[in-house]
Amino acid sequence: MTTRGSTTGHTSFPTTDRPTPRRPWRWIALGALLAVAGAAFALWFFLFRDDAPEAVDLGSALEGVTQPADQPAADTSAPPTAGGAAAPTAGVGGTWAVDRSVTNAEGVGSFGGFRVNEQLVGIGAATAVGRSRAVEGTLTVEGTTVSAASISVDLTAMTTNDSRRDDAVQRALSTSQFPRATFVLTQPVAVGSAPADGQRIDLKATGDLTIRGVTRSVTVDLAAQLEGNVLVAVGSLPITFADFGVRAPTAPIVASVEDRGVMEFQLYFTKR
């Protein structure tokens, strides 16, 4: 006997189509891509990035410069003399001293240092920058002439933009024996006219530069500007290390380094 709707000798069951589970290859690939990107960024950040500070610039030095509250702004007004010409500015005249409490918008104050090009192992060209903020000095203005100036930089406080070369720089400069570099003006610098507040002045200053016990006469290009009660000056000078008995500093990360560089400074003076 056959029952309607059935098949003799067989029993049928309903079936359900189940999708084959897919492995999360897409997410694995995305994770791997992010990992590679992160590793590449870390490699760039720690090795390939050239994070050397920019060369000194008067505009950057002036930007956001702080004004010591305990000193009045220099009086740059100059009454005319009998002949109609402006008299020497009494407000600017006098002795000015490096004031390490003054900084710019980036929080950088007075410093002296150097810049030199180098080749780093496995990386390529880079710029080594060394700076010391332990700066002292004075300059004297008489009328429209800078009659005297003396600047001293503590080289034992010199650090670079890569701490792996700092010890090498200290050895190259022999800071244990010659802890300071100095510049002493040997020729008066004629400004030409009494500077007004906010007026840029470009000058050349000739003096004796002493590094590692060796003194040489040099002429430094500098730019200066009176900003409120702060006299701001920046300057630079190409130098050959051998002229001062300095061997270009080397370190394990350095493949080669040029035997010449640039001495540079940024100075903030306030009146005594």
**pLDDT tens readout for residues 148-177:** 999 999 999 999 988 888 998 999 999 999
pLDDT of res. 186: 98
* Number of alpha carbons in the 13 Å side-chain half-sphere of residue 264: 18
Please list the residues that pair with 242 across neighbouring strands.
none
Task: Give strand ranges (E) for 46-179.
Answer: 94-98, 111-120, 124-132, 135-142, 145-154, 159-160
Higher pLDDT, 233 or 26: 233
Residue 78 has pLDDT above 60, yes or no: no
Q: For the full predicted model, state whether its pTM sits above 0.85.
A: no
Tell me which of 150 and 33 has the higher pLDDT: 150
Secondary structure letter of residue 191 according to DSSP: -
Helix H or strand E segment including 271: strand 260-271
Secondary structure E strands in 63-123: 94-98, 111-120
Residue 160 burial (CB count, 10 A): 20
pLDDT exceeds 50 at position 200: yes
C-alpha–C-alpha distance, residues 179 and 212, integer Å = 8
Q: Cα 148 vs. chain centroid, distance in angstroms?
A: 27
